Chain A
Amino acid sequence: MTTGPAGIDAVYRAEFGRAVATVAGMVGDIALAEDAVQEAFADALRTWPERGAPANPGAWITTAARHRALDRLRRESARAVKEYDAVVARAPIEEAEVSPVADDQLRMIFTCCHPALSPPSQVALTLRLVCGMRTAEIARAFLQPEHTVAQRLSRAKAKIRQAGIPLRVPPAHLLPERLPVVLACVYLVFTEGYFATSGPSAVRDELCDEAIRLGRLLCGLLPGEPEARALLALMLLQDSRRGQRRAEDDLIPLEEQDRPAWNHAAIRAGLACLESAAADGAGPYLAQARIAAAHATAPSWAETDWHAIVASYDQLLRYSASPAVRVNRAVAVGFSRGFGAGLAALDEVADDPRLAGTHLVPATRADLLRRAGRRREAAESYRAALDLAANEQVRRFLARRLAEVEE
């Protein structure tokens, strides 16, 4: 089955990132490694259908790519002699197959997510070099022209080379400030798939799947990091509702979703992950995972454990002073202590300049007022929110609510 193009495509998905990481670790050049692995897959397409697929396709690809990379280094005499010696002098070429090593992939993830690269570059590089997504696939998923993504990728690779971004896992003293960048990159991949609600949804689903795959990979590579497990828990719990969030072109609020139709296997996996993370530490992703877990385990919207959710928002605020978090907390306060208390909590954050010009505060106020039965004031706030909301889907939702309270 692995000998045909479809079979090789499956191997590509599974092995591309590992092979690039391992070859890059050997030759110290990401672009060279990427080209070599690409060529190795071209070799596979040519030879596997005739001779049959090897027993260990990953090792075959990595070994072939290593040969390709060494050939290239030999041919390009202009290349630094040091580089060539480091690779060629270290081991004879005719050695046995090279199998990808997990450490190489971890090195690659930290390099792709180096904080001197912009977040969009980090995401694109990670999807290309760690997940093996093709440029065209990344472009489709982010609804961007392919040449924009291609340019971003080549710029980021040039920066890694020119600026001397090291291909390594940062030393222990830098890990506390570097790991959050890696986790943020993975979560950005997820949210791009989960919250962006326009465009061909099938491809967006792929981003959610890739993010969860990356999350699993990180948990395996960094077993001592509870925040990696907390992030995986958060993604699994949110992802359990993915299929129920959209109907046609509209967003379905959590309150109106069909709970039995949620993915309960994902919820169980997420809860197990959450439990393991909570046993080992605390952090912003754990707090967010707890909020997602409270929703995922509630039998209904009314029976949701709002006290637990408010407590988790309070935890989250210790790590991030984000005004959006405080707005969400105000909603939870509304459900746990009464809508008057929620409105008071919202007033405390309403003047934050970072929220100026967004529909977030008036839309939230409108919702709390509507639930409190203050329809006339709610209508006023819905109108204010409509003036500020730019997203069509959000506008449709707000207009629907406005019509309800105006009845």
Chain B
Amino acid sequence: MHYLATLAGREDTGVDPGTPEFDAEVAKYAAFEERAADAVAGGAALFPSADAMHVRRAGGRTLVTDGPFAEQAEVVGGFYVFDAPDLDAAIELARRLPAAEDGTIELRPMVMWSPHETPRGDWWLALLWEAPDAVIAPGTPEWDAAVAEHERFGAKYAAAVRGGGALQPPSSATTLRVRDGELLLTDGPFPEFAEVVDGLYLFAAASRAEAAEIAAAIPLGEHGRTEVRRVVDLGD
């Protein structure tokens, strides 16, 4: 079973890619991955949200805007996909993530996941956010229609898409924090965000403009929003 672990935390820590502090963080995650070994089925670290793009619908048009979204105290800093036999195994992995100590991790079972190679410098992450009550449940006719739309997108941009996945409903989410060594679990998605994660894509694009074009083609709910973020190149 695949679980999406979305890592969220405050961004004002000054740990930006390219700094020694960032490299120290990366080393911690490398140690985590070594321990987690085969259970890691995907993941990426993200550049700060300052240069994010957002795609949404407005008056029947698709609108792309720049910059971080609203005034959120916490933002998504990266994600992992775990291949784990059950929720307990996924929790055991997530609680060892360095982000668990100073941020929040949301664990969501996935309906599907297409794995990817090691992220490169020209990769982007598209996080699909949706209003909680607008989320479509798997197995419904609306779901099948949405899947067909995503298949059309996938076929059109097959050369760019590097990976992606769909999630079980937000009610199946568990959020997790570790404070003073104590594991704290909460039933449900990130309490910090008004919207819920509804899916994700990884894709390659040579430029910001090309990334915006691809992101704008990703199917989007009437109340949804696509957050586009640059992926940190962690390859050697």
Contact = CB atoms under 8 A, between A and B. Distances in A.
| Category for how many chain B residues contact A | 20 to 34
B169 A162 contact: yes
Interface string A159-202: 10011111000100010010000000000000000000000000
Nearest to A162: B172
A164 B183 contact: no
A166 B172 contact: no
A110 to B, nearest CB: 10
B109 A164 contact: yes
A116 B87 contact: yes
A165 to B, nearest CB: 5
Given A162-B109, A162-B172, A121 B87 contact: no
Contacts, number: 46
Contacts of B188: 118
Contacts of A115: 183, 185
A153 to B, nearest CB: 13
A83 to B, nearest CB: 14
Given A163-B87, A164-B87, A165-B87, A116 B187 contact: yes
B140 interface: no
Given A115-B185, A117-B187, A159 B88 contact: no
Given A162-B169, A163-B174, A116 B185 contact: yes
Interface in B79-122: 84-88, 90-91, 107, 109
A170 B92 CA distance: 12
Interface string B180-201: 0001011110000000000000
B187 A118 contact: yes
A93 interface: no
Contacts of B85: 164
Interface of A: 114-118, 121, 155, 158-159, 162-166, 170, 174, 177
Q: Which 4 A-B residue pairs are closest in the complex by CB-CB distance?
A: A118-B187, A162-B172, A116-B174, A166-B86
Interface of B: 1, 84-88, 90-91, 107, 109, 168-169, 171-174, 183, 185-188
